[in-house]
Amino acid sequence: MSEILLKVEQLEASYGSIHALKGISFDVREGEIVSLIGANGAGKTTTLRAISGLIASKGLISLRGENIGSIPSYKRILKGLSQSPEGRGVFPAMSVRENLDMGAYTRSDRDGIKRDLENCYSLFPRLKEREKQMAGTLSGGEQQMLAISRALMSRPRLLLLDEPSLGLAPLIVAQIFEIVKKLNKEGMTVLLVEQNAQMALKVSHRAYVLETGSITLSGRGEDLLSNEEVRRSYLGI
Amino acid sequence: MQDFVQHLVNGLSLGSIYALIALGYTMVYGILQMINFAHSDVYMVGAFAAYYAAKWLGIENQPGLMSLATLLVVSMVACALLGLTIERLAYRPLRKAPKLNILITAIGVSLFLQYAGQLVFGADPKVFPEVMPDITFFQWGDLSLRSSDFTVLIVALLAMVGLHFLIHHTKIGRAMRAVSQNSSVAAMLGVNPDRIVAMTFVVGSSLAGVGSVLVGMKYPKIEPLMGMMIGLKAFVAAVLGGIGSIPGAVLGGLLMGLSEEMVVAYLSSTYRDALAFGILIVILLLKPAGLLGRYQVEKV
B88-126 pLDDT, tens digit each: 999 999 988 998 999 999 999 999 999 999 999 999 999
A94/B181 CB distance under 8 A: yes
- Give the max Cα distance, chain A: 51
A101/B174 CB distance under 8 A: yes
B178/A102 CB distance under 8 A: yes
How long is chain B? 300
Q: Rounded to whole angstroms, what are the CA distances from B239 to B91, B233, B256, B258, B295?
A: 22, 10, 11, 16, 13
Q: ipTM value of the model?
A: 0.91
Q: Distance, in angstroms, between A233 CA and closest chain B CA?
A: 24
- Work out the angle between the directed axes of helices B147-169 and B193-218 (0-180°, nearest 10): 170
Helix residue ranges per DSSP H, A104-195: 110-123, 125-129, 140-152, 170-185
Q: Where are the domains of chain A?
A: 1-80+190-237
pLDDT at A99: 96
pLDDT at B146: 81
Residue B296 placed within a domain? no
3-class DSSP assignment, residue B21: helix
Q: Rounded to whole angstroms, what are the CA distances from A152 to A76, A109, A113, A117, B223?
A: 15, 15, 11, 9, 55
pLDDT at B258: 92
Residue B294 placed within a domain? no
Residues 59-88 of A with CB under 8 A from B: 72-78, 82-83, 85, 87
| Cα A132 from Cα A94, distance rounded (Å) | 9
Chain A residues in contact with B192 by the CB 8 A cut-off are 72, 74
Using an 8 Å Cβ cutoff, are B31 and B83 in contact? Answer: no
Q: Distance, in angstroms, between B9 CA and closest chain A CA?
A: 34
Name the residue among B186, B187, B299 with its Cβ closest to that of A87. Answer: B299
Residue in chain A nearest B193 by alpha carbon = A74
Residues 182-201 of B with CB under 8 A from A: 182, 184-193
Planar angle of CA A42, A64, A105, nearest 5 degrees: 80
Domain range enclosing B173: 2-286
Report chain A's mean pLDDT, rounded to a whole number. 92
Chain B residues in contact with A54 by the CB 8 A cut-off are 184, 187-188
3-class DSSP assignment, residue A192: strand
Name the residue among A85, A93, A106 with its Cβ closest to that of B190. Answer: A106
pLDDT at A123: 93
Chain A residues in contact with B175 by the CB 8 A cut-off are 102, 105
Residue B183 placed within a domain? yes
- How many CA atoms are closer than 13 Å to the CA of B41, on its beta-carbon side? 20
CA A90 to chain CA centroid, nearest Å: 15
CATH of residue B155: 1.10.3470
| Cα A162 from Cα B211, distance rounded (Å) | 46
A94/B177 CB distance under 8 A: yes
pLDDT at B289: 86
Q: A103 touching B, CB under 8 A?
A: yes
The Cβ of residue B296 has, within 10 Å, a number of other Cβ atoms equal to: 9
Residue in chain A nearest B300 by alpha carbon = A87
| Substitution target from A49, A68, A74, A110 for chain B, most B beta carbons within 10 A | A74
pLDDT at B298: 43
Residues paired with A22 in a beta bridge:
A12
pLDDT at A49: 93
pLDDT at B295 over 60: no
Count residue pairs from A and B with Cβ separation < 8 A. Answer: 63
| Cα B17 from Cα B253, distance rounded (Å) | 7
- Would you place residue B300 in the very low, low, confident or very high pLDDT band (cuts 50, 70, 90)? very low
3-class DSSP assignment, residue B293: coil
Instruction: Name the stretches of chain A with pLDDT < 70.
Output: 1, 236-237
Q: How do residues A24-44 score in pLDDT, each as one tens digit?
A: 999 999 999 999 998 888 899
| Cα B90 from Cα B85, distance rounded (Å) | 8
Residues paired with A9 in a beta bridge:
A60
A74/B171 CB distance under 8 A: no
Residue B236 placed within a domain? yes
Q: Rounded to whole angstroms, what are the CA distances from B156 to A193, B45, B125, B210?
A: 50, 19, 25, 8
- Would you place residue B288 in the very low, low, confident or very high pLDDT band (cuts 50, 70, 90)? confident
Chain A residues in contact with B188 by the CB 8 A cut-off are 52, 54, 73-74, 76-77, 82-83, 85
Q: B169 touching A, CB under 8 A?
A: no
Least confident residue range of A44-58, B58-72, B236-250, B284-298: B284-298
The per-residue DSSP string of A6-56 comes to EEEEEEEEEETTEEEEEEEEEEEETT-EEEEE--TTSSHHHHHHHHHTSS-
pLDDT at A1: 64
Q: What are phi and psi of B137, to 5 degrees?
A: -75, -35
First to last CA, chain B: 56
pLDDT at B143 over 80: no
Q: Domain total for chain B?
A: 1
- Would you place residue B160 in the very low, low, confident or very high pLDDT band (cuts 50, 70, 90)? very high
Chain B residues in contact with A144 by the CB 8 A cut-off are none
Mean pLDDT of B251-256: 94
pLDDT at B296: 53
Chain A residues in contact with B174 by the CB 8 A cut-off are 94, 98, 101-102
| Cα B92 from Cα B157, distance rounded (Å) | 32
Using an 8 Å Cβ cutoff, are B142 and B265 in contact? Answer: no
CA dihedral A197, A201, A202, A206 (to 10 degrees): 170
H or E segment and range at residue A139: none
Cβ neighbors of A201 (< 8 A, separation 6 or more) are A35, A37, A207, A221, A222, A224, A225, A230
- In our burial notation (b when 16+ CB lie closer than 10 A, e otherwise), range B65-81 reads eebbebbbbbbbbbbbb
pLDDT at B297 over 60: no
pLDDT at B199 over 50: yes
- Taking phi over 0 as left and psi of -120 to 50 as alpha, with beta for the rest, A178 belongs to alpha
Name the residue among B189, B192, B299 with its Cβ closest to that of A102. Answer: B189
Would you report the helix, strand and coil content of chain B in percent, each value rounded to 5?
A: 75, 5, 20
pLDDT at B133: 82
pLDDT at A52: 93
Give the rounded percent of residues in chain B with a pLDDT score beyond 70. 98
Residue in chain B nearest A147 by alpha carbon = B185
Cβ neighbors of A203 (< 8 A, separation 6 or more) are A33, A35, A177, A180, A181, A184, A192, A221
Chain B residues in contact with A94 by the CB 8 A cut-off are 174, 177-178, 181
Query: What CATH class is the domain A1-80+190-237?
Result: alpha beta
Q: Distance, in angstroms, between B88 CA and closest chain A CA?
A: 18
Q: Distance, in angstroms, between A163 CA and closest chain B CA?
A: 14
Which of B232, B225, B226, B238 lies closest to B273 in space, CA to CA? B232
